[in-house]
Structure formats: structure tokens, C-alpha cells
Amino acid sequence: MPVNPPGAPTLSGDLVTIHRLLKSPTQLQRRLRTLRDMRFVADKILTQRFRSSGGAVMYEVSEPITTSRPVEAVSPGSTYPYAPAYDGAAALAAVQDWGQASRLTDAAIKRRIRGGDELDRVLRKVLNTVIQKIDALAISAVASAVTATLDADLHGGAWNGPTPNILRTLEAAKAYISDLDMGYTPDSVLMSSEMYAIMVSDEKVNNLRRRETSDNPVYGGEVEMIDDLVVVKAPAARLPSSDVWVFDSTQLGGMADETEVDPGYVVAEMGVQVQTERIARANSWDIWGRRLTVPVIQEPGAGLRITNAKD
């Protein structure tokens, strides 16, 4: 649907009515929210990068890091026993073209208070919408693939309970993942904004933090790391539940993008390709963005879901 100009001023008796989006020196411009404000997380939890071929990517799931038999003592003069080095289960994921377009008329550019910035603002909205979709796909893929769980009630208690021990819960989750002996090193924790608020205001957590420093949440309001885990928070609406997710971001998986850029496209943030086209006959601009990608979960064991973290 085209972005058309606002209606022209109207006169009714002595009263002049002017649309709020028309050029006006008294109209304050609102800064359009950026990707950082929107708190997109897909590329934080799936950090690996895969290249597709022929519109799809082939990968291995849960590849063993050892051979299939233990090492044995070898007698003098004997040969070493052979052991198969199995690969992981083969999987194939098809890349999808996720995109959206918008049309902006010349009249809208000339008559709106933002003038020439209107094109950039519409492009930003298209960009945000594409990435929001990719975010939802990535989180859904993680939720479907990661099946291991840890009950917070049995390891420190619910975070909003009467006597929680959040650090113990996180340590238990890290220990579970590490004890799989697959080379996983948990380095990140994903949670909703609500669970983050519970964690950051927990008295035990605050008592363990340095007091006379500006990185204390009572001053800055942010906790970027806890228990050697990078904190990634997202709006609750984008997460499948109120559970907390601990994972190895270097092993869990990644995004498989078609990196070849077709003529006319430029690459913006987070792998989104954008393009604009002047539609002379329509006195307007077409603006569109896309990301050719698919989320890939290569090591489901590298993640764990903490259940019952919230009563």
C-alpha cells in the first residue's frame, strides 16, 4: 500500500484544520526506533554463519567428538585397533526469501514534516519488520530443537519464589551442558524482560556484585553478564514461554544465508538486503528489503531450558 501524503488543509468558517503530518515548524520529530531499541536476538543466539548452495544448506546434527570405541592397551608388535569416526546425522534446510515492500509517493515526501528523511524512515520500518520475522523464526527453531530441561524448583527454586538462588540454578544448567562431554561451553543466557527484572533485582545477586562501581544495576540498570554468561533479553511476546535458556552460542547453530547479492541490492544490518526503485509514471518510490536465510540448529545439546523459573 502506498505511503500517500496527508490531506490538504481545510477551511471551515474562521477555523483552519491542518493535518498533523504536514510541514509545520512547531511539529516535533520523533526518532524512529532502531534495531538496538527493538532488541533483536536471532544473531546473538545463533552466531555461526553457513553458506547455502543451490538454495539449501546441508549440515550435520550432534556430531560425535570421539570415536565409537574406547582406547585399548596394545601388546608389543600388535597393531592398533580401528574404530569408526562417525559423522553426525545429515540434515538439509531450504533457504527462504523473507521480504516486504512499501511504496512512498513524491507528494508524501514533499508535504510531510520529515521531508527527505521520509524515504529513510520507511526503509527503516521495512528493515525492522524483516528482522523481526527472522527473530521469530530463529527463536522458534531453538525452542523446537533444544529438548533438555532443568527444573528450577529442584536447583535453587523459582526466581520469584520466597528463597531463590539464581546463581545455583545457572550453575546447575551450565554443569548439565558441560557434563555431556561434547565440548560445549555455555556462554549465554536468554530470558524475557520480566525474568531479567526478577534477576537484576534479586538481593542475593546484588549482594554478590561489586558495590562501589558504576556497573552495579542500581546505577546503570543493566546486567550484561552473570556467572560468566552473556545476558540476552527479549520481549516476552517473542519467546515461547517464561523459561530461561542457557546455551553455548558458538556451538548451538547459526543462520544460513545466501550471501550472493543480486544487482541493485545493498546489504544493511543483520544480513538484510535492501533496494529502492524510482517509479516515474507513478511519481513514487518502491522500497523493499529481504533476507534469504534459514536458521540452523547444529548442536541441540549445546542448549538447555530452565523450567519453573517463574511460579
Provide φ and ψ at 295, rounded to 5°: -75, 140
pLDDT at 153: 95
Instruction: Indicate the DSSP class of residue 236.
Output: G
Per-residue cell: 156: 535453587
Q: Dihedral of CA 56/61/65/67: which sign?
A: negative
Q: Are 63 and 91 in contact (CB under 8 A)?
A: no
| 24 pLDDT higher than 60 | no
The span from the CA of 158 to the CA of 242, in Å, is 12
Which pLDDT value is given to residue 229? 95
Q: C-alpha cell of 295?
A: 536458521
Burial (CB count within 10 angstroms: exposed 0-12, middle 13-18, buried 19+), residue 271: buried
Residue 248 binned pLDDT confidence (cut-offs 50, 70, 90): very high
φ, ψ for residue 100, nearest 5 deg: -160, 150
The mean pLDDT value for 95-99 works out to 92
Q: Find the DSSP H helices in the chain.
A: 35-38, 42-45, 106-111, 117-145, 166-178, 193-200, 203-208, 217-220
Q: How high is the pLDDT of residue 164? A: 93
The cell numbers describing 60, all together, are 550435520
Domain positions in the chain are 33-63+88-307
The pLDDT, as a whole number, for residue 295 is: 93
Query: Minimum mean pLDDT among 3-12, 13-22, 31-40, 80-89: which range?
Result: 13-22
- Region of poorest pLDDT, from 21-35, 59-73, 135-149, 165-179: 21-35
CATH superfamily of 33-63+88-307: phage-related protein like domain (3.90.1690.10)
Q: Which amino acid is at 300?
A: P
The predicted structure's pLDDT at residue 216 = 61
Distance of CA 266 to the CA centre of its chain: 22
**Cβ neighbours of residue 76 under 8 Å, at least 6 residues apart?**
none
Give the per-residue pLDDT at 35. 52
As a whole number, the mean pLDDT across the chain is 82
**End-to-end Cα spacing for the chain:** 45
Residue whose C-alpha is closest to residue 38's, from 245, 284, 233, 250: 233
Average pLDDT over residues 259-275: 82
58 vs 274: CA distance, rounded Å: 27
CB neighbours of residue 166 within 10 Å: 24
* Residue at grid coordinates 511476546: 237
- CA-closest candidate to residue 196, choices 44, 310, 37: 310
Looking up cell 546486567 gives 223
CA distance 217 to 200: 7
| Average of per-residue pLDDT across 166-188 | 95
Q: Which cell is 135 given?
A: 527473530
Higher pLDDT, 119 or 155: 155
Q: Is the pLDDT of residue 297 over 70?
A: yes
The answer for residues whose C-beta is within 8 angstroms of residue 44's C-beta and 6 or more apart is 188, 232, 249
pLDDT value for 144: 93
Mean pLDDT of 51-72: 81
The full 3-state SS of 90-114, as one line of letters, equals: EEEEECEEEEEEEEEEHHHHHHECC
Query: Which tens digits make up the pLDDT trace of 213-245?
Result: 666 666 555 678 898 999 998 888 888 888 999
Q: Which residue in this structure is represented by grid cell 540434515?
A: 91
